[in-house]
Chains A and B, each alone.
Chain A
Amino acid sequence: MMRRRYRIMKDESCISCLRCARECSFGAIEAADGKGLVFHHQECTDCQRCVSFCPVGAIYITEDGNRFRRNAVFGEDDIQQIHLQAETGGVLLSSMGAPGSSVPIYFDRILLNASQVTNPSIDPLREPMETSVFLGQRPERILRGSEGRLVDNLPPHLELSTPIMFSAMSYGAISLNVHKALAAAAEELGTYWNTGEGGLHESLYPYKGNTIVQVASGRFGVHGTYLNTAAAIEVKIGQGAKPGIGGHLTGAKIIGDVSKTRMVPEGLDAISPAPHHDIYSIEDLAQLVMSIKEATDYSKPVMVKAAAVHNIAPIASGIARSGADIISIDGYRGGTGAAPLRIRDNVGIPIELAIASVDQRLREERIRDRVSIIASGGIRNSADAVKAIALGADAVSIGTAALCALGCHICASCHTGRCAWGIATQDPDLTRRLDPGKGAARLVNLVNAWTREIKEIMGGMGINSIEALRGNRMALRGVGLNEKELGILGIGYAGE
């Protein structure tokens, strides 16, 4: 007996238009001849596609009422997973970010400051409120030329009009239409999107100025033109959802343009090794960073992305000294298209703690001003972004939130390849559900809305430029945190 997690329900207002059956890509709703709708509850992922498209609001999804005998140690999920593994002998797969309800979301335990009396708050509608961020290396000293004039000795920088960019998500894991939407939105917003490790589809070459291309362990789709069709290049060492683990895109998805873009033969599994096989140590990373700079004529910043793991602070320090211009740190709650469940839920540390300790460590080593830091992994709203920046990040990067703007409801079934929203799938019948133009408009709306909120929050604190927020931990206070947590975050307790 298959386990039913959800129950598909409908009320009397149903007009039997069968729209729900057409929308369901998981085979949970069937339009049986003459019998109307048949529900296969066990197939339902609660992706909410049917609910969103029901013209009369007749259909809804509930948790299945059946439950296992309560046990404080072995929960229902634990028992289910044991049953499944006993049946299959396999590694459990999952997708999106760790739900990890027992791991604190520190963002929710941090409160922001505002000006009162001694210092005026600033109204963003009346006064300029600056959100532009420049990411890249800074030299240690200024340089003066003839007649004492300042010489611009800054290496190339990325310029963002808002401290929000889009996280790496590969073509293959997500559809080309999603890439199109991200690229167009990034261009309109004056920020950047990231190809992930699956290469860059040729139709997206015109978005070069807002594209970050990724070089990951599988080196899929990496060639000279690729490296030079970008504003920056990211070396991906790890990902928050699956630190220490490579990737596996099944041959079923390596079809047509995905195969061509990835430079992997059709039908062949695309396996990204766990490590880069040319990086077994930090000095190897430095060589790769420099090789990429050589290949791109030192005209673009090189980023290094690593997962937030226990010793992320010294790792970041090593990356900062490798010649990398920007460090991207992806936290425990970062999403993925597919990852072993045990890895996703048990490996890595929350981004809040990681950013705080990395920022502090780089300051202690006096190299914080030399590099820029991007935080990602569970940024849900503008307040999370503000908190991440006040903890020490230069900018944040959003993946899951961007996909939600495109329709995703985080049913965490990406690894099935059946995404009903046309996001995490290559099935042409499904991918066409996402209109790249409309998708881009929604992404633009989302980021603009967050940017407005960030301005509002900054103005309340009397800060009118985002750089004055960076690492400004006095703007933060904790609630429900212990001394150790406050110490790592480098913040006081509320009321202190």
Chain B
Amino acid sequence: MKKEGEIRISSGCAISGIFCRDGRRIPGEAIRKSIAVMHSRSNGLGGGFAAYGIYPQYRDFFALHIFYDSQSSREETERFLDSHFDIINLSKIPTRPTPRIQDAPLIWRYFVQPLPHMLQDSQLDEDEYTSRAVIRINDSIEGSYVVSCGKDMGVFKAVGYPEDVADFYRIEEYEGYSWTAHGRYPTNTPGWWAGAHPFSLLDLTVAHNGEISSYDANRRAVEMYGYSCNLLTDTEVIAYMLDYLTRKQGLTLRECSEVIAAPFWSTISMKGEEERARLSYLRKMFSSFLVTGPFSILVGFRGGMMALNDRLKLRSLVAAEKGSTVYFSSEEAAIRIIEEDPDRIWAPRGGEAVIVTLGREAG
């Protein structure tokens, strides 16, 4: 049977997110509780969490979470890391034995910064340098997979139900201002740890529920710009598209949402002149990046979170606010379990991004 990356596997899912606009760091217990409510939306073949603000003591270094199939892939990867980065700290990621989580790879964490002379010779900025190194590891070192590589953030994922994954990684011991979670229901997979979500590149993480019908058009477009879609999952391709549009093209996340969940031409034609020109421009310029088919995504980034539905709203997505805390979830129940009495609860419309950032109101 082919594993993820050798064949494209579609999946349904649950997603959940908590964001503290005041920057308050909350333990992982809440997000575990939220995603656990949607147990039946997963089938035990993948769960994961992304957390921001969890490594304040190493906030200036890239935090690499890496899965290894074997000691030899670890040695090869560490040799590669040694020759490209200063390794400030390395350790195994602490886990606790959990009966329902099996076949764990070796899971390591590194805090690194690019070797200054290598960085200078490469004529790249440190983000591009690091992302290329990560793509290279994933692409060319057998049995080695970088799960996340941003600063002051990390992704914890595994094959299993999300609440078991949380227990396995001792998620309650981490404190972050932003959390996303994902429970997976793939239709057909032998279960591969790297195939679980969230998916991440640098500071960007994507947790996604849906199956996009534009997949191959999007994949082939983003691969043109140096990305390599190894997992053949929607989530991976969405993450790369967002990275390309924000970091390489300089679009805002709001503009990204207007590209990937672009308003219909009929909607655009009803806008005022300036807005019409702006939206038309984005659609024409980035037509290969339009995503069709059902999706709801939670995008984590440094200092913020974006929730976005496909333009027909073919997947459920609920948002809520209580004080300075914002919640997103596939189901309202998953919000009510952790915040019984939100100030406001609503279903964002298809294609309408909800973007929250530190110190700002939801909108």
Contacts and interface: CB of A to CB of B under 8 A. Distances in A.
B285 A119 contact: no
A92 B50 CA distance: 71
Nearest to B223: A363
A471 B223 CA distance: 12
Residue with the highest number of chain B CB atoms closer than 10 Å, among A118, A363, A473: A118
A468 B220 contact: no
A464 interface: yes
Interface string A455-496: 000000111110111111111000000000000000000000
A2 interface: no
Interface string A150-168: 1010100100000000000
B155 to A, nearest CB: 24
Given A119-B293, A127-B312, A138-B285, A366 B224 contact: yes
Contacts of A467: 217, 287-288, 290
B293 A366 contact: no
B361 interface: no
Given A122-B312, A128-B264, 7 more contacts: A132-B265, A141-B249, A150-B282, A152-B281, A461-B213, A463-B293, A468-B217
Interface string B282-298: 10110110111110000
5 contacts: A138-B285, A139-B285, A142-B285, A366-B225, A473-B220
A36 interface: no
B116 to A, nearest CB: 28
Nearest to A362: B224
A464 B312 contact: yes
B266 A118 contact: no
Given A130-B264, A144-B250, A119 B10 contact: yes
Given A152-B277, A462-B213, A369 B221 contact: yes
Interface size classification for chain A: 35 or more
Nearest to B185: A118
Nearest to B284: A134
What 10 A-B pairs have minimum CB-CB distances, sorted nearest first?
A468-B214, A474-B216, A462-B213, A472-B217, A468-B292, A119-B211, A467-B287, A118-B10, A472-B216, A462-B293
Contacts of B360: none
Contact of A369 (B8, B224, B290, B292): B224
Contacts of A99: none
B294 A119 contact: yes
Contacts of B221: 368-369, 471
A314 interface: no
Contacts of A115: 213, 293
Contacts of B216: 471-475
Interface string A120-152: 101000011010101000110110100001101
Nearest to A134: B284
B187 interface: yes
Contacts of A468: 213-214, 217-218, 290-292
A143 to B, nearest CB: 10
Residue with the highest number of chain A CB atoms closer than 10 Å, among B10, B224, B266, B287: B287
B278 interface: yes
Interface string B199-221: 00000000000110111111011
Contacts of B11: 118
B265 A470 contact: no
Nearest to B8: A474
B251 interface: yes
B105 interface: no
Interface residues of B, number: 42
Q: Label chain A's interface by main secondary structure.
A: loop
Contacts of A469: 214, 217
Contacts of A130: 264-265
Interface in A265-308: none
Contacts of B124: none
Interface string A84-120: 0000000000000000000000000000000101111
A161 to B, nearest CB: 10
Nearest to B281: A152
Contacts, number: 103
Contact of B294 (A120, A132, A139, A152): A120
B93 interface: no
Interface of A: 115, 117-120, 122, 127-128, 130, 132, 134, 138-139, 141-142, 144, 149-150, 152, 154, 157, 363, 366, 368-369, 461-465, 467-475
Interface of B: 8, 10-12, 187, 210-211, 213-218, 220-221, 223-225, 249-251, 255, 262, 264-266, 277-278, 281-282, 284-285, 287-288, 290-294, 311-312, 314
A154 B285 contact: yes
B30 to A, nearest CB: 30
A88 B288 CA distance: 55
Contacts of B12: 118
Contacts of B278: 149-150
Nearest to A113: B213
A276 to B, nearest CB: 31
Contacts of B10: 118-119
Contacts of A117: 187
A475 B219 CA distance: 13
A118 B250 CA distance: 34
A465 B267 CA distance: 14
Residue with the highest number of chain A CB atoms closer than 10 Å, among B187, B291, B314: B314
B265 A471 contact: no
B316 to A, nearest CB: 13
A120 B290 contact: no
Nearest to A142: B249
A469 B265 CA distance: 17
Contacts of B285: 138-139, 142, 154
A109 to B, nearest CB: 19
A465 B218 CA distance: 13
Contacts of B262: 465
Nearest to B186: A118
B266 to A, nearest CB: 6
A138 B288 CA distance: 11
Contact of A120 (B220, B277, B314): B314
B79 to A, nearest CB: 30
B251 A470 contact: no
Contacts of A154: 281, 284-285
B214 A463 contact: yes
A80 B307 CA distance: 71
Contacts of A462: 213, 292-294
Given A118-B10, A363-B220, A369 B288 contact: yes
Contacts of B225: 366
Contacts of B284: 134, 138, 154, 157
Contacts of A139: 285
Contacts of B266: 128
A200 B161 CA distance: 68
A468 B310 CA distance: 13
A119 to B, nearest CB: 4
A408 B251 CA distance: 51
A368 B292 CA distance: 20
Contacts of A471: 216-217, 220-221, 288
Contacts of A149: 278
Contact of B215 (A363, A465, A472): A472
Contacts of A141: 249-250
A464 B10 CA distance: 19
B251 to A, nearest CB: 7
A201 B223 CA distance: 46
Contacts of B312: 122, 127, 464
Contact of B281 (A132, A150, A368, A475): A150
Residue with the highest number of chain B CB atoms closer than 10 Å, among A119, A134, A138: A119
